[in-house]
Amino acid sequence: MQETETKQVATDPEVIVQHRRMVEAVLFASENPLSVDDIAERLPDGVDVEAHIEGLTETYATSGVNLVRLAGKFLFRTAEDLSFLLRREVDEPRKLSRAAVETMAIIAYHQPVTRAEIEEIRGVSISKGTLDVLMEAGWVRMMGRKRTPGRPVTYGTTEDFLVHFGIETIKDLPGVQELKAAGLLDSVDMALEKMGGMPDPSKSLEEAEGQIDLEEAIAAKERATLAGADASGMPEDGDTDAGDADGMDDGDANMDADTENNMA
């Protein structure tokens, strides 16, 4: 019988307060969002990380900074209603081009998606630089190759994309009407409507892989059909060899008969 390890949690009030301060310090010092496991690795045994995160979230809910959860991880952020105070403290970020914004939206809602599919939706070709900018920003990554002829590369969003835009999961992406209201889909909304509207952003990658397998099966069937058609137009090897062999035997027999007649 396998023994299960029971995690001992501190019960001393003073120790609990100290543990909460530790969790708070680790989160405050980190440049990146941390998961529960990430925090636990930095702390001694007996710290109930989840309970302390819940307590800190409540404590900071009305403060100038909030403890928020993004992409399954936690970090401190300035309260949204105070963001105007920091506008003079940061450099104006470089804005994405229109093509990059549209490409980013298509990847987010259609992932995993190939470059050709992005171009089909937008109605125009995209430069390699557009995808490079999104990948250098850490918002887009290559997810693998599609199981279709040519094996094109597919693209999808990253964890940094969720963190940067304040999204917990891909399910929290805004709907098509919200994007249109923000002016992000003016040039591609007609294409999306022709395709049946915006796809469900919560569609799992497993479903996408299933579609890829189906496309590969269809392609394989077409290749087999073409191969069968080519084979039906060619003589069988056995018939060709037999015919050639018979012809050679008859010729040899005729030559032997002529030789005997001349000698006689």
For the record, the structure tokens of 102 come out as 């549209």
Q: Same domain for 106 and 197?
A: yes
For the chain, the domain total comes to 2
Q: Same domain for 115 and 80?
A: no
Residue the block writes with tokens 């035997």? 249
pLDDT score for 79 = 92
pLDDT score for 157 = 92
pLDDT score for 117 = 92
- Domain finish residue from 193, 208, 223: 208
CA dist list (Å): 213 to 41, 105, 147, 196, 206: 40, 25, 7, 22, 11
Q: What are phi and psi of 21, to 5 degrees?
A: -65, -35
> Would 221 be classed as within a structural domain?
no
Q: Same domain for 73 and 143?
A: no
> Would 213 be classed as within a structural domain?
no
- Domain finish residue from 61, 86, 111: 86
pLDDT score for 4 = 41
Question: Which bin fits 167, alpha (ψ -120 to 50), beta or left (φ > 0)?
Answer: beta
CA distance 252 to 264: 19
Q: What is the mean pLDDT of each successive set of 10 residues along the chain, which is 264 residues long? A: 53 88 93 93 90 94 93 91 74 76 89 91 86 91 88 91 85 74 54 49 49 55 67 50 44 48 46
- For residue 59, what is the domain's CATH number? 1.10.10.10
